[in-house]
Amino acid sequence: MKVPFSWLQSLVVKKLNASQVAEKLTSFGLEVEAIEKPKEFGQFFVVGKVVKCEKHPHADRLHVCEVKTGKKETRTIVCGAPNIKVGQTVAVALPGATVAGGNTISEAEIRQIKSYGMICAEDELGIGTSHDGILVLDDVLEAGSLLDEANIVETIVDMEVTLNRPDWLSVFGVAREVAVAERTKLRDIELDIKESAPALTSTRSISVVKAAAKQYHLKSAIHIQQSETPQWMKLRLGALGLGSNGFIVDVTNYVLYELGQPLHAFDADKVKGKKIFVRFAKPKETITLLNDKTYTLTSEDIVIADSRGPIALAGIMGGKETAVTKETRNVIIESAIFPHLNIRHTSRRLGLRTDASNRFEKGITPDIPKRALLRAMNLLQKHANASVMRGMLSFALPQKKEKPLVVSLKRMNQLLGSHISMASAKEILLRLSFGVKSKGADQLIVTAPVFRVDISIEADVAEELARVFGYNKLGLTMPKVNMKPSVVDDMLKLQSEIRNMSVRLGFTELLQPSFYGKEKIAWAMLPESEHRTVANPMDSEQQFLRTDLLPGMISVVERNRKAFSRVTFFEIGQVFWKQMKPGGFEWRIAWTASFQDGGELIEMQENIAELFVLTLGVAKRDIYISSGTHIRDIKIGTTPVGILIVRPLRKGMTVACVECSLHELLANKKIREYIPRSKFPSVFRDISVIVPVSMDSFTLRRQLHQASTNVIACELFDVHPQSDATVSCAFHLEFASYDHTLDSREVDSEMTSIARALQQKGGIVRT
């Protein structure tokens, strides 16, 4: 939110200092991010008075002017502006001045007449975009004074407005905060008008669908004598980046920033019929807006319509058919509060973000709409001699009356660690426009002002006391809290253990949105009917709540595979099924890795198995992976805990994905027990077996243990592809007995049994 400093000053009685105001506002919670100070024009830019103006003898569109640029100095300047007149106070660039755009002014002969300077337009001074005519200054300025003394360039205070304070989205709202901070009075906005034209109710009526507006008000002005927008208004709007668009539009823009209420002006002569409707759009109804684009609407969009059809898209932009122009003499001005969710959805769907939609989305306080209409009429009457029609067409839903809060000063002081007295608390709340009554020695009955929609509980009132009293005065008191030992959540503990172990094994963690689109559903071959649909998705890739982690992970693998030969990721996240109760979810863990041969696939499986052993306390021999080409079940004992999916990628790469239910893993977690080693020495042997790619290392490991009574450890240490269909797996075996020392004959006998068992599974043994 950017605010011209002179505008703030005009609403506050006390003389302000920009730096001090910025510091105090920041301490109040309205963080000032920057103070943009104007760049000086310098000695070559002065104030001039046009004392003579004649047509150029050799050019139809030029004028030869005599301009007073000092007490005793007058110079000839050739000017091409259509609005140049005798008596005007203007900005003059003397020879030697460099104007915006980089051109340096010098004495020049223009069509046989010498020109000694330039009378400047807004864009040439760098204070706006207008080049329609010269900039006309206030007549009180003295000829020859430096242009810097005219204060035509504003100091801008740039603030970050928090979402809970829509009342700060206006200059008046910020000024109200400044008045509290500076302990001074706030000047009210001038609203006085004289209603001299016939009653508006005699010519117009309104029809409002209740769900389409909380408030809707119309007021009309006729016989508007449109003239040049006052210079002070142009400068303030220009400081906010707004060019002049004709006086009527400038007035609506000015009130928008002054009071925070979006207004829209209709050319009354272009509105057909006596009745104006506020309703929801009909399906496929269209409207052409002020940006010259035509939009197709839905039944969720709110429109303002006349007897022909839509003439404005409520809360966002007006229609072209009833647009105000510089020829407009009669206007109807709208001020309303529209449902913020409808405005947000329409704005997002159509890609139309405007200053009006931004304010409607954040919320308009109920005290503003009528005040804004009166302010607009005041400006039209004061500066364009408009005749204001009597009365106002109004619709307003009954406003819910907020109950006063009963708060305890003792509890608030305990919360803040402060010692604010009852008198100070009352004084602070009264300065903030709260209603305050005492209740006993400790309690206050507090009524929040209508513009403070964020006050609902005692802690909100405590925050108000703290920010005005001063956070730096609260001291360093530690809060007294009765604390109990925290309960360790087994699910969170398991997630932490698996996360740490996955990182140790070389996997990189992903954090992804809980949404995906139809393309990922098709990839995973998941039924669309089992998904929950998102009511208002950001885009087509966020239409459904996910029921699976893998589809999103695969797209990340495909993107990263272009830069890396091997990609390994894991993700811990929630999935949502349609049959679950609202708010229900299931925790899942998934790992994925790209590879080129079966050996790398077996290595990945071994890594996951090692992770299960270290985090769940299960033995590798109890881990089962079923056979299959693309989809394989993973079990611990007889309990299914997840699946393994193998899918081809482009250019000879394959991706392996493991997804498990964390709830099932937690159910199978065992307490790890220490098993003492045998007191007798171990014997070590290696064995290699060539098996089909479809066979997993866990099946081989179980065969090894089943064929031998003395194998106490079995480690897969080498995996090497033999062909496209086979892979060689080498195991390091440890034999030991708990009652005697094994001799070579016993180990040889067990090795023979192991070889025979592996051959029965289709393996070719090499010892």
Listed residue (514, 416, 506, 518) closest to 470, CA to CA: 416
How many residues are recorded in the chain?
A: 767
The widest CA-to-CA distance across the chain, in whole angstroms, is 126
Within-domain flag for 419: yes
Q: Rounded to whole angstroms, how far apart are CA atoms 271 and 309?
A: 10
Q: What ranges in 311-433 are assigned the alpha helix state H? A: 340-350, 355-362, 369-384, 409-416, 422-431
Same domain, 567 and 708: no
pLDDT digits (tens, 9 = 90+) for 224-267: 998 788 888 888 888 888 888 889 999 999 999 999 999 999 99
Cβ atoms within 10 Å of 265's Cβ, excluding its own:
22
Pairing between strand 508-509 and 568-575? parallel
Average pLDDT, the chain: 89
pLDDT digits (tens, 9 = 90+) for 480-535: 677 777 777 889 999 999 999 999 988 999 998 888 888 778 777 778 888 888 87
Q: In the numeric block, which tokens belong to residue 727?
A: 């892979």
SS3 assignment, position 377: helix
Q: Which residues of 719-744 are buried (b: 16+ CB within 10 A; e: fewer)?
A: bebeeeebbbbebebebbbeeeebee
Helix 744-760 crosses helix 697-707 at what angle (to 10 degrees)? 140
Q: Rounded to whole angstroms, how far apart are CA atoms 767 and 762?
A: 16
Task: Check which CATH number belongs to the domain holding 199 and give it.
Answer: 3.50.40.10
Listed residue (727, 738, 638) closest to 682, CA to CA: 738
Same domain, 244 and 347: yes
DSSP sequence for 313-329: ETTTEEBSTT---TT--
Q: Rounded to whole angstroms, how far apart are CA atoms 240 and 393?
A: 32
Q: Rounded to whole angstroms, how far apart are CA atoms 617 and 614?
A: 6
Same domain, 462 and 589: no
Backbone torsions φ then ψ of 640, nearest 5 degrees: -70, 130
Same domain, 504 and 421: no
Cβ atoms within 10 Å of 509's Cβ, excluding its own:
11
Q: Rounded to whole angstroms, how far apart are CA atoms 357 and 158?
A: 20
Same domain, 535 and 617: yes
Within-domain flag for 629: yes
Within-domain flag for 188: no
Within-domain flag for 186: no
Q: Rounded to whole angstroms, how far apart are CA atoms 460 and 412?
A: 10
Please answer whether residues 359 and 169 qualify as being in contact, where contact means their C-beta atoms are separated by less than 8 angstroms.
yes
Task: Check which CATH number belongs to the domain holding 10 and give it.
Answer: 3.30.56.10
SS3 assignment, position 273: coil
Same domain, 80 and 51: yes
Please state the pTM of the whole predicted model. Answer: 0.66
Within-domain flag for 628: yes
Q: In the numeric block, which tokens belong to residue 532?
A: 């929950």
Domain boundary (331, 363, 388) is at: 388
Range of the domain at 21: 2-38+155-181
SS3 assignment, position 367: coil
Same domain, 228 and 270: yes
Same domain, 363 and 469: no
Same domain, 436 and 340: no
Quote the pLDDT of residue 106: 92
Task: Check which CATH number belongs to the domain holding 545 and give it.
Answer: 3.30.930.10
**Residues in the chain with pLDDT values less than 50:** none
Element (H, E) at 444: strand 443-447
Same domain, 504 and 453: no
Same domain, 223 and 280: yes
Helix 171-181 crosses helix 247-259 at what angle (to 10 degrees)? 40
Within-domain flag for 711: yes
Quote the pLDDT of residue 599: 65
Quote the pLDDT of residue 652: 66
Number of domains the chain contains:
6
Q: Rounded to whole angstroms, how far apart are CA atoms 345 and 314?
A: 12
Within-domain flag for 469: yes
Quote the pLDDT of residue 113: 92
Q: Rounded to whole angstroms, how far apart are CA atoms 532 and 526?
A: 13
Q: In the numeric block, which tokens belong to residue 136?
A: 């006309």
Amino acid of residue 410: K
Q: Rounded to whole angstroms, how far apart are CA atoms 8 and 274?
A: 41
Within-domain flag for 349: yes
Same domain, 340 and 438: no
Evaluated on CA atoms 52, 53, 54, 56, the torsion sign reads positive
Pairing between strand 435-439 and 443-447? antiparallel
Please answer whether residues 510 and 551 qualify as being in contact, where contact means their C-beta atoms are separated by less than 8 angstroms.
no
